[in-house]
Amino acid sequence: MDFTETQINRYARHILLPEVGGTGQQKLLNSRVLVIGAGGLGSPVLLYLAAAGVGTLGVVDDDVVDLSNLQRQIAHSTDSVGEPKVESAARTIAAINPDVDVIPHNERIGPDNALKLISNYDVIADGSDNFATRFLVNDACHLAKKTLVSAAILRFDAQVYTFKASETDTDGGHGPCYRCIFPEPPPEGQIPTCAEAGVLGAMCGMAGSIQATEVIKELLGIGESLSGSLLLCDGLSATFRKIALRPDPACPLCGENPSITDLENHKG
Ligand SMILES: [Zn+2]
């Protein structure tokens, strides 16, 4: 282990954990995570992964910081209003931990760049705010055989999932993907967005912190993966529920006879 004195000090509370230790911390420093969206969920995910010493953090977002973002998007501050979110987030991350190499991708993830974007990373964390992107990222991660930790949030409710359907379990099967649960995106306008229905800022922190925890578990291969489960958090009743999810053999992406073999269905 070639930690500097400063690193031993910075990561002391991780190194103390038997599940992490010096080896795990070194692994985190050598890891690459792509965070999609530097918004409500992406902010806490980025801040905790940066503080944890995940050595390379990619951030994809094509938006600029708006005043109405600051109620929940804690990677940004009042003086970054009007600035690209990836730049504002990169500055915050640099201030937290100079060990982290931030790669800002100031673009929107789409069918033309998704596979290229995710190909350089070990684990993908999706904090996007719309169904089109969530389905695209699910498909791209499955096709590229990348572990995806996804979260969604609305009002006082949050959901967190881990998908790695391309990975074979110990019993020879595999976990579900997002399309095993929701085969198609819902019709436009059927489910309100946070901009339409609101969201409690701290709920983003709750879901994003869980997402960051699951990303670190996947990077280190520790604990029980959330793959095969849906974690539901109801903030108003302070209730957490973990629901078992099964892969769908008829899933168009990860099933026995997949009809989705590229990202063409996301074009047009
Ligand atoms: Zn599936």
**Å from CA of 86 to ligand 1 middle:** 31
Name the pLDDT band for 186 (thresholds 50, 70, 90). Answer: confident
Amino acid 170: pLDDT = 83
**Ligand 1 centre from 183 Cα, in Å?**
8
**Token pair in block for residue 22:** 């010096």
Considering only residues 153 and 169, tell me which one the structure prediction assigns the higher pLDDT: 153
1 has a pLDDT exceeding 80: no
Judge contact between 151 and 129, C-beta under 8 A. Answer: no
Report CA(127)–ligand 1 centroid distance (Å). 20
CA 191 / ligand 1 centre spacing (Å): 21
Strands annotated E in 123-237:
123-126, 147-154, 157-163, 229-234
Three-class DSSP category at 29: helix
Q: Residues 214, 162: contact at Cβ < 8 Å?
A: yes
Residue 85 scores a pLDDT above 80: yes
Question: What's the 258 CA to ligand 1 centre distance in angstroms?
Answer: 9
**How close is the Cα of 251 to the center of ligand 1, in Å?**
5
Q: How far is the CA of 259 from the centre of ligand 1 (A)?
A: 11
* pTM for the structure as a whole: 0.97
List phi, psi (to 5°) of 147.
Answer: -75, 135
Residue 268 has pLDDT above 80, yes or no: no
- The CA–CA distances, whole Å, from 206 to 75, 156, 163 equal 15, 10, 20
Predicted local confidence at residue 235, as pLDDT: 97
